[in-house]
Amino acid sequence: MSKTDFKPGNMLYPLPVVMVSVADNDGNKNIITVAWAGTICSNPPMVSISVRPERHSHAMICDSGEFVINLTTEELAYATDYCGVKSGRDVDKFKEMNLTALPGKVVKAPRIAESPVSIECVVKERIELGSHDMFIAEVVAVSVDDAYMDEKGSFHLEQADPIVYSHGTYFTMGKAIGKFGYSVEKPKRK
The count of other CB atoms within 10 Å of the CB of residue 62 is 16
Which residues in the chain belong to E strands, given as ranges?
Answer: 15-16, 18-23, 29-34, 37-42, 45-51, 66-71, 101-102, 111-112, 117-128, 133-144, 163-166, 169-172
Give the CA distances from residue 135 to residues 10, 49, 171, in Å, rounded to whole numbers and listed in that order.
Answer: 18, 5, 26
| Residue 138 identity (one-letter amino acid) | E
3-state secondary structure of 81: helix
DSSP code per residue over 35-76: S-EEEEEETTEEEEEEE-TTSHHHHHHHHHSEEEEEE-BSTT
Residues 6 or more apart whose Cβ sits within 8 Å of residue 134: 48, 49, 50, 126, 127
Record the pTM. Answer: 0.93
Residue 12: the pLDDT is 85
Structural class in CATH, domain 15-184: mainly beta
pLDDT, tens only, 58-115: 999 999 999 999 999 999 999 999 999 999 999 999 999 999 999 999 999 999 999 9
Where is 84: in which H helix or E strand?
Answer: helix 77-85
- Radius of gyration over every alpha carbon of the chain, rounded to an integer in angstroms: 18
User: How wide is the angle at C-alpha 123 spanned by C-alphas 172 and 30, nearest 5°?
Assistant: 60
Q: Which is nearest to 32 in space by CA: 72, 75, 73, 5?
A: 72
Q: Are 9 and 63 in contact (CB under 8 A)?
A: no
Backbone angles phi, psi at 62, to 5 degrees: -60, -40
Residue 190 confidence (pLDDT) above 80: no
pLDDT, tens only, 104-136: 999 999 999 999 999 999 999 999 999 999 999
